[in-house]
Structure 1
Amino acid sequence: MVKKRLIEVVTISVDDKLDQNGALRNVAVKDAWQRLRQKIDVEEWKAAEKVLNELTMNLQKINMYKSVSGACGKLRNALQNPEQLVDEAEFLSATPTPRDRGDSPQALQAASDLKKTKDELAQFCSCLEKIKASLEKDNQLQDKIEPPPGVAPDIAGSYKALAFICDRCQRGLREIDHLKKRVDNCEARNKELEKHIDEKEEAIDKLTKTVNTLEKKHSTVKEGKIDNIKEQMKMKSLEKQVEAKVAEVNKMRAENANLNKRLNEIKEQRGSELADMYNTHPPARIADLYRELYASGKNDAFQFYKTSMNLPAKDAAVKTMAVLQDAFSFCEEASKLQFGLVLNSLITPTESFDGKQPPHKVDDNDMSQIQNVRKQTSRLSCEHVKNAFVTKLESSGGTYSMDELTGCMAFIEHCVELCWYMCMQTPPLVIGFSDNMKQDIAVDKTKYEIASGKGAKVDFVLWPPLYGQKDGDVISKGVIQTK
């Protein structure tokens, strides 16, 4: 009975320990993993290894109690019958003695099982010691933990639990290494940040010193500027006065420019009036005389060629316009010769004139004065030009007969006189002889008037148009006969 009571006490004590350590295991595992996985400060990373060591020690204790629990389970099975009990010494030693050999087979089997269980527990404890030593030495675990062959299922389960715990611990160690690396990186970054902060602080100190220096300078300059403000105000007042004076001067200059412009306009107007005073035959008067020449003098010559010389109307018109063209060409050459002589006499009076216009440069004002003199004396020179042209016709021989000269003398003189006044203008007037010989062309009503005929094409030209200048506007239209 004493032995039975002793075994029950041991069994109950072991069960209590298992219950207590089962709860301890759950609490330890939850606490350890929560502390490892939660967000902690950088200073607390170093405590992770200590937490893992505590977890390892707790797991070692749990596994030992679990192995003892397996052995005690076998004891319960052996103690179901009283006759299977053994004494205290046999239970503790678990080795058969010669006295035991005569016992029952169940007792011998129980003793054998106890001995085997003791050996297996010894091996398990040895495995735990190795794991503990490896953890204490270099904080490493075995890669593979396998139970010895032929062990009891409970012991094999303990080995499997130990292998699972070691695997979890191995993962924890890897996580701890990773965390250590992160901590090292964070520390390195912290050192760099601290260095950067030190540099920034040095820069801030320098800037602070610079700001203090600038503030001192600013205070000094500010004191000086207070004295300059009054001077600046005075300068602004003077500047305003100067601006007002400048504006007044600009206004006076603008008025002066307007006056000069008006004066120039008056001079030009008076100059044109004076030029008109010198010009006894302005272009408008010449245009009127040109139309009168066609209406009166031209008709006399035309009728002479048509009746006295028995020429057709077309040929009579050609002969009449030939007289006008010869007179215009003669007056044009005489005008150029006169201008060359006057210019040469005024600029180079000691040199003889060779009939060509000298290459003298004369400004517009002087040229205008010379032209005015020529216009003013055009009446005097006109008589000489008429006599010279008539003399040329009389001495030409076959160009004009004496009958033509006698019958058309009045028309010839009127042509020379009018053409001379045309050449005296500035610029000279131009007679349009280009269409004289053209036929079967469309009627240009901007240049010609139709004398007779109802057709749309020109039969022959009776009288050429007069232009204000070369390629200029028509100041007196010509006359044509249409088909």
Structure 2
Amino acid sequence: MNFQKETDEVERLRKKLEEIQKQNEELEKKLVQKEKHQNDIGSRYLQAKKLKTDLHDSQKTIDSLKQKVQMAENETRSIKAELTKRDRHDASLKNELESYGNLERQFDKIKEELKNTKAELEETKSRLSKSMGDKLTDNNPNIADLSDKNRPTKLAERYQEIYDNEWTDAFETLDEIYQNEEKTTSILIHILMGTRDFCEREAEYQMDQIQKAIIQNTSSPGRRVPTNVQKQLKECRKITAETSGKYLYQKYNKELLNSKSSTARRAGRVPDFVAACFNMCWLMAVQDPPIVFSQNVDHGDTFNTDMYKAYTRTGNKVDFVVWPALNLHTNGPVLCKGVAQGYTEVTRRSRSVPAKSRKKNESYETTPENDTDTKRDMKLKTNTVVIGGRSIRTSDEGLENDKSTTRRADKIHRNTPVARQSRATFKPKNLSYYDNNPPSNPKPSENDVDTFWRWREMFGPEEARRLLGQDYDICLKYLKGLGVI
């Protein structure tokens, strides 16, 4: 009985133990689950914490972006305000420009009216002057119409300017080809005379055609318009001379291109000179009476200083004409002096005798004070000295009156045939020429003086002294005694 009770007790305890084990297993399972759950909670907590940190950073980023957006909006509003302000300013400027444009148009209109008024006033003055002077100036060249910008005195000034400018350039161009001063000047004169002949023919033909058109008669050459009408026709032709001259110059150019003459070919090398000569000759031809060139002067004729200026040498005879003189009309007074090369007929010592064969006293017996022949050559009454075969003025008055001639002589001096020949043929002398015993007061020959000037001009004083040696010092001393240097 007791055993049974113990057995039952054991069985009960066993069952209770099993239940406890089951409960223990369940508790362990719950513990495991709880631990797992706690781990999950910790992991989620860390994730939540991380998310919270990320959220905080994102919030900061969002706040920063909001600030930037706010700044951008503020800047946008500022730019819009500035643009609005500029639009208003542009509109104001546009209104001002329109107002300025209106004022400018009004100013241009007033300026045009003033110009027209001045033109009408000038035309009225011109008509009044013309009507008062027609009776005086009719075929009377001695009374000039001061309202005419192409009156003879003005044409004389233009003629001189052509010689100073276009002629000089043309001379340099052609002289490089022909290397001959006289030939080059002759070619330029032929070109000038060619334009003169053409203009005189065209002027005569033009007047003839105008008269025929007025009287409507082309078959009776003897019939002419009245004298007073002819005067008006000539005046009309003078007024339109510059315009008609442009078309005639084109016609003349075509003639030159079609011509086979040597003058036409040479004229093609100096177009500026041809244009200047043509314009001058046409304005001369339409004067009433026409302005003409002086009569031809031949070599050996007396040098007329009232009609010609010296080119690079003076003298009592004409060597060749460089630039023709201008006369107011045929056989009329000189309107503008021409330019001519002069020379003096004097008896000179023969240069063919060798220097050493001359007597020593023959070259040096005359002192500088008494050497009138050399003084005449080296310092003439016109205040000139010989440089490279040319006479150049030395006095202040000469320079003032003949600047263009001196400038031209300096400009082309190095290219002259004399200079080229001297460089090729001259042989400087040394002390042996005087047998190493030069005279105490020597007088150089004319050739030595000429060479002295050429070489001093071309190479300078120092180089000329080195090349010429004793001759340089002799010439220098001699010329100082004359007062030239």
TM range (shorter): 0.3 to 0.5
Structure in which a larger fraction of residues adopt helix: 1
User: Please, what TM-score do these two structures have when normalized by structure 2?
Assistant: 0.41
In terms of Rg, which structure is larger? Answer: 1
User: Please, what TM-score do these two structures have when normalized by structure 1?
Assistant: 0.41
